[in-house]
């Protein structure tokens, strides 16, 4: 198996179909990257929220023990 | 005894702990397979005789389209399991599957439209396959919107499950649309039961990409479900330990 195109310029242009092929791949790759990071960001946000909540509750709990 | 795994699978904590390793493995596997598949399809597969290089879009168009339909079954059947056995975890899978499915449907529609321009001379036609895929996209969006429309999680889950199940009739229609209505969209070239009408050196990267997108899908739904578990179990001690322990 070898590189199908004669040159990198050829690979980029693809006999005029380059813009379509690269556009389709770009849309998909951007979408996949966004999908991949979604759960990570949501988890980080959740942990931040829970810590903020715990920090707010902590002084109240200490107060009730006294 | 045989059903024990099923009940244990219904426990969010057990699920969260057991899927940690799997999620990582699937994630890296998906990344590796997608990278190899994309490079193979773009740079190493030969040119198609009639369509020229524009056919290279097949390596993302067909896998995303297939998995967007299979993903609908995942969503609808998770909803059904939730309805029948009242399994909370199953509803969480259903909720996670909706945005992933919507994104893949969008990818299939977008890449198909871009492919349509050099091949058919137009980005869009109201062809049976295209229209039924657009309906699939709206069904996914409908499930996502319904999730947000209820204050009560249980009501949201039940309604979403019912909408998912009703929408399932669309899947065989999409699948068969190219045979029933012979309009613009070409019939499948890769077949399981008879001889494929695609050359092997073009088919191998396509098969790889189909598996890659399936694994990517599995990884995404698993990751999303894990985060959903944390949200819905936020009041339990084990989730507090994770959130405050920084794991």
Tokens, residue B22: 């799997």
Terminal-residue alpha carbon distance, chain A: 76
pLDDT tens for residues B21-47? 999 999 999 999 999 999 999 988 888
Question: Would the CA dihedral through A42, A43, A44, A45 be positive or negative?
Answer: positive
Task: Point out the least confidently predicted range of B137-146, B222-231, B238-247.
Answer: B238-247
Tokens, residue A19: 């813009």
Query: Would you call B244 and A54 a contact, using CB atoms and an 8 Å cutoff?
Result: yes
Best mutation target among B33, B53, B98, B116 (most A Cβ atoms within 10 Å) is B53
Ramachandran category for residue A15: left, alpha or beta (phi over 0 → left; psi -120 to 50 → alpha): left
Backbone angles phi, psi at B59, to 5 degrees: -70, -15
Q: Which of B44, B57, B118 sits opposite A3 (nearest CB)?
A: B44
Best mutation target among A28, A34, A50 (most B Cβ atoms within 10 Å) is A28
pLDDT tens for residues A9-66? 888 888 888 899 999 999 999 999 999 999 999 999 999 999 998 888 877 666 555 4
Residue B191 pLDDT greater than 80, yes or no: no
The beta-strand segments (E) located in B160-243 are none
pLDDT of residue B197: 77
CA distance A59 to chain B (A): 16
pLDDT of residue A66: 46
Query: Would you call B231 and A20 a contact, using CB atoms and an 8 Å cutoff?
Result: no
- Locate the chain B residue with the closest alpha carbon to A8: B43
At B8, is the pLDDT very low, low, confident or very high (cuts 50, 70, 90)?
low
Tokens, residue B102: 């919507």
């Amino acid at each position: 198996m070898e590189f199908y195109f004669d040159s990198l310029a050829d690979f980029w242009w693809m006999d005029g179909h380059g813009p379509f092929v690269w556009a389709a791949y770009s849309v998909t790759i951007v979408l996949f990257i966004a999908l991949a990071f979604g759960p990570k960001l949501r988890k980080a946000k959740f942990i931040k929220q829970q810590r903020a909540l715990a920090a707010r509750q902590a002084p109240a709990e200490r107060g009730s023990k006294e | 005894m045989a059903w024990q795994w099923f009940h244990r699978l219904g426990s969010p904590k057990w699920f969260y702990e057991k899927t940690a390793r799997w999620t990582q493995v699937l994630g890296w596997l998906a990344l590796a397979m997608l990278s190899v598949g994309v490079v193979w399809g773009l740079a190493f597969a030969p040119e198609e005789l009639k369509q020229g290089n524009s056919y290279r879009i097949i390596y993302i168009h067909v896998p995303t389209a297939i998995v967007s339909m299979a993903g609908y079954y995942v969503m609808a059947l998770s909803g059904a399991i939730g309805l029948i056995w009242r399994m909370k975890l199953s509803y969480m899978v259903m909720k996670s599957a909706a945005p992933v499915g919507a994104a893949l449907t969008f990818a299939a529609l977008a890449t198909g439209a871009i492919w349509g321009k050099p091949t058919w001379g137009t980005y869009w036609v109201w062809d049976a396959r295209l229209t039924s895929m657009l309906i699939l996209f709206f069904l996914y969006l409908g499930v996502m919107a319904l999730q947000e429309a209820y204050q009560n999680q249980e009501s949201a889950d039940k309604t979403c499950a019912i909408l998912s199940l009703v929408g399932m009739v669309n899947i065989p229609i999409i699948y068969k649309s190219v045979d029933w209505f012979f309009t613009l969209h070409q019939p499948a070239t890769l077949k399981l039961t008879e001889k494929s009408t695609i050359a092997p050196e073009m088919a191998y990267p396509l098969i790889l990409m189909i598996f890659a997108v399936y694994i990517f899908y599995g990884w995404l739904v698993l990751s999303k479900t894990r985060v959903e578990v944390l949200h819905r179990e936020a009041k339990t001690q084990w989730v507090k330990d994770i959130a405050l322990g920084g794991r």
